[in-house]
Structure 1
Amino acid sequence: MVTITAPSSVPSGVGVLDKVSAILSVLEQGPVHLPTVVSETGLTRPTVHRLVLAVQDLGLVEADQQGQFIAGPRLARLAMVAHQAIAVRELRRELGALRATTGARSVRLHQRHGDQRLCVAEALRHKTALSDRNPGRAVAMGTDPVSRVFLAWQRLSRSHVTGSDAAECSGIRHRGWVQGVTDEGLVLAVAVCGRDGELAAVLSLSSPSRRTRCSFRREVIKNAVEAAARISRRLPAQESTGPVKELEDPPRRVGPRSE
C-alpha cells in the first residue's frame, strides 16, 4: 500500500483523486522536476509519470522550458472563477445588510457596459413587477439617479458638459451621491470609486416615495456612503469582473513522456 506524504494533502477516500491531489499539493510550492514530485508524494515514479501526463491533458499541469512541472492554465482559470465567486458572495452580503439596515425596498450595484449600465448584484425585499429589473441585462442610460452618477463621471472626464450641466456633474462628483424619483419610487445613487478616484460602480437604494416623503434620511445616506466605501475595496480587479475567457491555445502535453 502506498503512503501519500505530500504536504496539505487531505484524503478523499478515492485513490486516484488522492494521488492527483498529492501531486498538485507539491506544485503549490513552485516548479518542480519529476524526481521531486516522486520523493515528496511517496508515490512510485511510474505512477507519478502516468498521472502527470494525464492531468497535463486536462490542463491542470504543464511543464516550463526547464522541464519543471507547474500549475496549468485550467487551474489559473478556476482560481479566477473562485476569486470572483467569493467576491460576489461577500458583495451580496453587503447589499443584504444595507437593505436590512436602511429598510430599503431594493439595494443594487450597477456597472458600466459600454454606453449602458448593468445591474451586477441586488438585494430585494420582495419580487414585484417594478422591482424585478432583470439583473444582468444592460439598459440604456437615462435621467434616473444611477445614470446621472455614471454620466457625471463620463461627461466631466471627456469634457462633454458646459454651463449648468457642468455644475450639476461637478456637484454630483463632489458630493458622491444623488437622489430622485423614478418608477420605483425614491432612488438614492452613490458612487463607488476605485483607488484612482475613477468610478468603478454605482450603489443604489430604492424606497416608495410616499414612505420617505421626498428624500432619504441623512442616516440612510450616511449608511449607503459607508457601504459604498466598503464595496470599493471588495470589487474584483477590472480584468476579473467580466467572464473568464478561454485561452487561445488548448492545453498541450509537454515535458517528459517516458521513463
Structure 2
Amino acid sequence: MVTITAPSSVPSGVGVLDKVSAILAVLEQGPVRLPTVVSETGLTRPTVHRLVLAMEDLGLVEADQQGRFIAGPRLARLAMVAHQAIAVRELRRELRALRAATGAKSVRLHQRHGDQRICVAEALRYKSAPSDRNPVRAVAMGTDPVSRVFLAWQRLSRVHVSGSDAAVCSGVRHRGWVQGVTDEGLVLAVAVCGRDGELAAVLSLSSSSQRIRHECSYGREVIRTAMEAAARISGRLRAKEATGPVKGLEDRDRRVGPRSVE
C-alpha cells in the first residue's frame, strides 16, 4: 500500500484520484521536476511519470521551458470559473442582505443590453417556487427610476444634449440615485459604477403599494444603505469581469482520449 505524503492531500478513498490530487498539491507550490514530485508524494517514479503524462494529455499539467512541471491551462480555466461562481454567489447574498436590512419587497440588479435593461439577479420577500437561477428578463427603457438612471449615463455620453436634459442627467449622476412610484410601488434605483465611473449596473429596491399610502419616498437611512450595497456590488462585478473571459483561453495541445490510468 502506497502512503501519499503530499501537503493538503485529503484522501477520497479513490486511489487514482488521491494520487492525482497528491501531484496537484505539489504543483501548487510552484514548478517542480519529476524527482521532487516523487519525493513529495511518496509515489513510485513509474506511477508519477505515468500519471503526469496522462494529466498532461488532459490539460491538467504541462512542462515549462526548463522541463519542470506546472499547472496546466485547464486548471486555469477551472480556477476562473470557480472565482466567477463565488462572485455570483456573493452577489446574491448581497441582494438578500439588502432586502432584509431595508424591508423592501424586492431587490434587483439590472444591466443594460442595447435599448433594453435586463434583471440579472433578484431577492424577493416571497417566492412562488424555490430557485437559485438568475431571472433574466429584458424590459424596454421607460420613465421608471431604473430607466432614468440608465438614460442619465447614456445621454451625457452623447455629443449633442440639450441644456435642460444635460442638467437633469448631471443631477442624477451627481446624486447617484433616483426614486419614484411605479406599478410595483415605491422604487429606489441606485447607480452601480465601475472604476472608470461608467455605469455597470443599476440596483433597485421596490416596496409595496401599501407603503406609498404612508410614505412618498425612502428615508435617508435606506438610501445610504442601498448606496453602500451598490459600492460593494461594484466590487463584486469587477471581480466577476476579471474572471469572465474563460472562453478566451485556448486549450493548448488538448488530446482527450480513451487512455487507461490505473
What is the TM-score of this pair, normalised by structure 1?
A: 0.86
Aligned twin of 2:235? 233
Distance 2:53 2:241 in 1: 31
Q: How many residues align?
A: 248
Q: For residue 139 of structure 2, give the secondary structure of its aligned residue in structure 1.
A: strand
Rate the CA distance shift 1:167–1:101 in 2: closer, same or farther, 3 A.
Answer: same
Amino acid at match of 2:204: S
The alpha carbon displacement at 1:229 in A equals 1.8
Aligned twin of 1:87? 87
Aligned twin of 2:167? 167
* Structure 2 segments unaligned to the other structure (5+ residues): 129-133, 256-262
Distance 1:218 1:108 in 2: 20
Rate the CA distance shift 1:145–1:127 in 2: closer, same or farther, 3 A.
Answer: same
Distance 1:112 1:241 in 2: 20
* Structure 1 segments unaligned to the other structure (5+ residues): 129-133, 254-259
Aligned twin of 2:123? 123
| RMSD between aligned residues | 2.2
Aligned twin of 2:177? 177
Amino acid at match of 2:222: V
| 1:84–1:236 contact (8 Å) kept in structure 2 | no
Q: Percent identity?
A: 87
Provide Cα deviations, 1:106-151, integer angstroms capped at 9, x if missing partner.
00112233443222221001247xxxxx822333333221122122
Q: For residue 59 of structure 1, give the secondary structure of its aligned residue in structure 2.
A: coil
The alpha carbon displacement at 1:251 in A equals 4.2
Q: For residue 43 of structure 1, give the secondary structure of its aligned residue in structure 2.
A: coil
| 1:106–1:125 contact (8 Å) kept in structure 2 | yes
What is the TM-score of this pair, normalised by structure 2?
A: 0.85
Distance 1:114 1:73 in 2: 34
Provide Cα deviations, 1:56-101, integer angstroms capped at 9, x if missing partner.
2222122223322211122111111111111222221211111112
Is 2:218 the partner of 1:216?
yes
Distance 1:251 1:117 in 2: 41
Superposed counterparts of 1:238-249, under 5 Å? 239-240=241-242, 242=244, 244-245=246-247, 247-249=249-251
| 2:186–2:206 contact (8 Å) kept in structure 1 | yes
Rate the CA distance shift 1:166–1:111 in 2: closer, same or farther, 3 A.
Answer: same
Distance 1:165 1:156 in 2: 9
Is 2:58 the partner of 1:58?
yes
Superposed counterparts of 1:14-53, under 5 Å? 14-53=14-53
| 2:87–2:240 contact (8 Å) kept in structure 1 | no
Q: For residue 237 of structure 1, give the secondary structure of its aligned residue in structure 2.
A: helix
Rate the CA distance shift 1:10–1:249 in 2: closer, same or farther, 3 A.
Answer: closer
Superposed counterparts of 1:183-202, under 5 Å? 183-202=183-202
